[in-house]
């Protein structure tokens, strides 16, 4: 080794020693980071899990939970920009292909059931029960600019303009609602107000007698004094969203499973593994605290086993799982065939 090389090596060693002596607390307190993004619907559950896990670990782990919608979250997830994606619908075929191209494998974990809720203003005394056929007539692409008044849906209803509101088009809630009601995901009229913020959506419904919107049950449940849920008739009578109607499968077709997807490589990190294990072991309480519908206890044991065994892929074949009941979900998760391209 030349003299100049020796001096450079010595200088580098001195810098390392000095850095360690000057910034020992910074090195000792370096935090592990878990990045999560995606659905606003799943956000309250995962955020609650993250907060409790960080407190248990005495903030040794920094978990960021952001909201860019299920579609936006999957884009980041399939680019390996985040470790976990919150999703209010299963991963789509196009997203599966994006992950495959980027060599991103994932573990699919249902965490709860949601009852996607159609909401109106409390002063609306006429439209508190609607059939799926009526909702389709309002929301289908052919309705744009044509179906604009309540009495066009039912002649007994007021001759007043309907104010349509919904989540933004990058939302899994929008994907699921359009699939369940219109019959094709992402297919709807476009002359409605799209809102990314659920609080703004609720306040807008609360402030307009003629408003009609769709949103996750948890947000409705926290704001029952401001908005009214519509009972949905899928051919067997009008049914309101509730714990009972979701569990017995009668609230259809707007009951849906909601998920987290975990990057399989990220799951090798102790902080990610620990967080998902904490999430599953405490899921029932976490889900209830966020005003959603928990799965049976055995479901979370199954999901934790799938995670620990790194069972990668999806059981849903890139489809939104419309009309799925809790029992059907558990049977699906018991399958051995997974699609992950």
pLDDT digits (tens, 9 = 90+) for 82-114: 999 999 999 999 999 999 999 999 999 999 999
Between 330 and 204, residue with greater pLDDT: 204
- Please give the average per-residue pLDDT across 189-216, as a whole number: 94
Burial of 313 (0-12, 13-18, 19+ CB in 10 A): middle
- Please give the average per-residue pLDDT across 60-75, as a whole number: 96
Q: Is the pLDDT of residue 17 over 90?
A: no
- Residue 29 is predicted with a pLDDT of 53
Q: Is the pLDDT of residue 41 over 80?
A: yes
Q: Is the pLDDT of residue 45 over 70?
A: yes
Q: Centre a 10 Å sphere on the Cβ of residue 252 and count the other Cβ atoms it contains.
A: 20
- Residue 330 is predicted with a pLDDT of 79
Q: Name the pairing type of β-strands 129-131 and 193-195.
A: unpaired
- Residue 208 is predicted with a pLDDT of 96
Q: Which pTM was predicted?
A: 0.83
- Residue 321 is predicted with a pLDDT of 79
Q: Is the pLDDT of residue 7 over 70?
A: no
Mind listing the domains of the chain with CATH numbers?
Answer: 31-111+258-325 (3.40.190.10), 117-240 (3.40.190.10)
Residue pLDDT, tens place only, 160-193: 999 999 988 888 899 999 999 999 988 999 999 9
Burial of 137 (0-12, 13-18, 19+ CB in 10 A): middle
Average per-residue pLDDT in the chain?
A: 89
- Please give the average per-residue pLDDT across 329-337, as a whole number: 67
Q: Distance of CA 196 to CAs 85, 135, 221, Å?
A: 17, 22, 18
- Residue 332 is predicted with a pLDDT of 77
- Please give the average per-residue pLDDT across 23-51, as a whole number: 82
- State the pLDDT confidence band at 196, using cuts at 50, 70 and 90: confident
């Amino acid at each position: 080794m030349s003299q100049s090389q020796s001096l450079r090596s010595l200088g580098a060693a001195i810098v390392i020693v000095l850095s360690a002596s000057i910034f020992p607390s910074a090195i000792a307190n370096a935090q592990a980071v878990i990045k999560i993004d995606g659905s606003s619907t799943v956000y309250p559950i995962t955020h609650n899990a993250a907060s409790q896990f960080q407190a248990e670990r005495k903030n040794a782990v920094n978990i960021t939970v952001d909201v860019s919608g299920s579609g936006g979250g999957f884009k980041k997830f399939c680019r390996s920009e985040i470790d976990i994606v919150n999703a209010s619908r299963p991963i789509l075929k196009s997203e599966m292909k994006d992950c495959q191209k980027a060599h991103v494998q994932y573990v699919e974990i249902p965490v709860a059931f949601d009852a996607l809720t159609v909401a109106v203003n409390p002063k609306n005394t006429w439209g508190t029960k609607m059939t799926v056929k009526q909702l389709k007539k309002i929301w289908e692409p052919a309705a744009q600019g044509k179906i604009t008044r309540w009495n066009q849906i039912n002649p007994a209803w007021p001759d007043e303009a309907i104010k349509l509101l919904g989540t933004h088009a990058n939302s899994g809630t929008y994907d699921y609602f359009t699939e369940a009601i219109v019959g094709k995901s992402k297919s709807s009229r476009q002359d409605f107000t799209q809102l990314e913020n659920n609080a703004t959506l609720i306040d807008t419904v609360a402030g307009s007698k003629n408003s009609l919107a769709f949103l996750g049950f948890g947000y409705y449940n926290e704001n029952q004094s401001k908005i009214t849920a519509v009972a949905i008739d899928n051919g067997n009578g009008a049914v309101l969203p509730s714990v009972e109607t979701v569990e017995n499968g009668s609230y259809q077709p707007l009951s849906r499973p909601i998920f987290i997807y975990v990057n399989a490589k990220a799951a090798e990190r102790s902080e990610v593994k620990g967080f998902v294990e904490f999430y599953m072991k405490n899921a029932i309480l976490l889900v209830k605290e966020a005003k959603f519908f928990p799965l049976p206890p055995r479901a979370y044991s199954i999901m934790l086993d799938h995670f620990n065994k790194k069972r990668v892929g999806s059981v849903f074949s890139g489809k939104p799982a419309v009309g799925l009941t809790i029992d059907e979900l558990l049977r699906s998760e018991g399958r051995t065939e997974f699609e992950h391209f």
